[in-house]
Structure 1
Amino acid sequence: MTTRGLFITFEGIEGVGKSTQIRAAAAALEDLGIDALVTREPGGTPMAESIREVLLARRDEPVHETTELLLMFAARAQHLEILIRPRLAAGQWVLCDRFTDATFAYQGGGRGVPRERIAQLEGIVQGDFRPDHVILLDAPVDVGMSRARHRGELDRFEQEAMGFFQRIRDAYLARARLDPQRYHIVDAAQSLEAVSGAVASFMQVLVRDRGQGS
């Protein structure tokens, strides 16, 4: 019987290095004999990636918070059913750059969408499905946004005011405090090497605890 793979998500505000650290995690797992799929949200499948383009595009037309929320969950539904669930069922580990915690943080904390509304859609799309582990890369907002600005042109979300991202950070930390066994906070203000080392060490613990790997 195939052992279900682990679903591990990487969360945090802009500029905390999620893309870099998810690659570091995948490399650490590969060294340990674990095949991991790296994916992202919104996105992950061709259709979900098309929705991502709509969500992130800079535009003159205001995007209503309900429109944004529904598009996020539409992309997630496709991603979950077409890619994530089948890969986990086949025994593959899945590393995802953002998941529903981001919706509670960005649309909930940042936009002020009621938590109950987000939870209702979470139930419709996911049922009781949740990440096995959440790695929260945390850094002060000024540090993260300074890094984000050096990456190039900002997308629609990255153009928001500093207060928006402070609310997001606060929302992430609040969720982590409610479930410390599942959330793992990493100080992303450290050097790249230190953060990558912390992430790699956590991957080693997970592999050891599962009794997998080479």
Structure 2
Amino acid sequence: MNSGWDENVLLFKHPSLPMSQAHFQIQQSSDWTLRAALPSDLESICRIFLNGLNLSLPHRRIADEFYNWERDMASNGKLRKRFSNSLGDEQVRMCLAVSQTTAGDCTVENVLAFVQYNPATEEENGRGELMYLFADPQHHGRGLGSALIKWVKSEARKDPSPPAQRPAKVLVKCFASNVAGVRAYTRAGFVPVFEETEPDIQETMQILEWTDAIAEV
């Protein structure tokens, strides 16, 4: 059971996927909703990514070391390119948790969290990869991460892969020193399988894998 979830079900179309893969059926909370990411969400996604990355390690602010907002959000900036490429790639699936606030006649949508899932391929032995999952720090503890992980699992179950690779599998990398992050993934059914050093930042990454051995309710 996911705390804060109700029985409502949403059906929406991902703008970058062919129709055969376009519709995701998911649930919503009473105060936020999941929807497909759009190109217009780029700036919100990048801000959440940087804030989340800075909180991923207890001893370093990684985003501040590698990114500068004005430089890297310019037309050819590396941060803009990283996520604009993902938003425009039919093989990448991105989902947001959003809320709405109303002031007078205006309704403003706020992006609270996002996840990027790269579907399984034969080259990856039929395993999908949860590339990024970050929530705005102001909205931690609202069940956003659990909801987005549930969404990733539902997408993994739909991935085409060789029969020998079923049940569905998803890999995720998490900083080994990010104890809260590793704990959250293990609570969601991911199992640590090995560790590796990320050469660009010289930090140990914990690689975890989720296997859909038993259908979840």
Give the TM-score taking structure 2 as reference length: 0.29
Write 1 or 2 for the structure with the bigger share of strand: 2
Give the TM-score taking structure 1 as reference length: 0.29
Q: Which has the higher contact order (CA 8 A, sep 6+)?
A: 1
